[in-house]
Amino acid sequence: MVDEEIVQFHGINVYDHRIAAKPFIVVRRDDVRLMLYRIEDLQISLGSLINVLAESGISFAVQNRAINVTREKAVGNLYRAFSRNLVPTAAMMDYYYGGKYFHHFYDQRGGMGI
């Protein structure tokens, strides 16, 4: 598998690198450093991730705000109703959990508990 978008600009194929059970990985190629992480793990791994960035000498800024707090957004009630009533079909489960992204980024750590 090849991720054409990142390969095209940075020469790094994310599918050549496994995150496995780690919270994130850093891939280096020439002067490019690419950090791969699962967004749902970000809150628990953010401290480690920031330490790696700080130790690397990369300039960055951290903003103190919620990553994605739906309940505070105008669509919060709609999202809560949707997630309460959603009953995924077998076809939906096959589509989302059978794709190349899921298999690459989640299978090796136990498939997100499913």
* Residue at 91 is within a domain: no
Residue 14: Cβ within 10 Å count:
21
Domain count, the chain: 1
**51, part of any domain:** yes
Within-domain flag for 105: no
- Indicate whether 33 belongs to any domain: yes
pLDDT of residue 114: 42
Over the stretch 59-113, which tens digit does the pLDDT of each residue have? 777 665 555 666 666 777 888 888 889 898 989 888 888 877 777 777 655 444 4
Distance CA 110, CA 53 (A): 28
Which helix (H) or strand (E) is 35 found in, with range?
A: strand 32-37
The answer to whether residue 41 is domain-embedded is yes
Query: 114 or 48: which carries more pLDDT confidence?
Result: 48
CA atoms of 106 and 41, how far apart (whole Å): 12
Asked, for residue 16, whether it belongs to a domain, the answer is yes
Can you give the residue range of the structural domain that contains 56?
A: 4-68
Residue 14 lies in a domain: yes
Q: What Rg value do the Cα atoms of the chain yield, rounded? A: 17
38 has pLDDT over 50: yes
**19 inside domain:** yes
**pLDDT tens for residues 54-69?**
887 777 776 655 556 6
Reported as a single tens digit per residue, the pLDDT across 8-29 is 888 888 888 888 778 888 888 8
pLDDT for 111 equals 46
| Residue (of 22, 90, 95) closest to 103 by Cα position | 95
* Inter-residue contact 44 to 23 (CB < 8 Å): yes
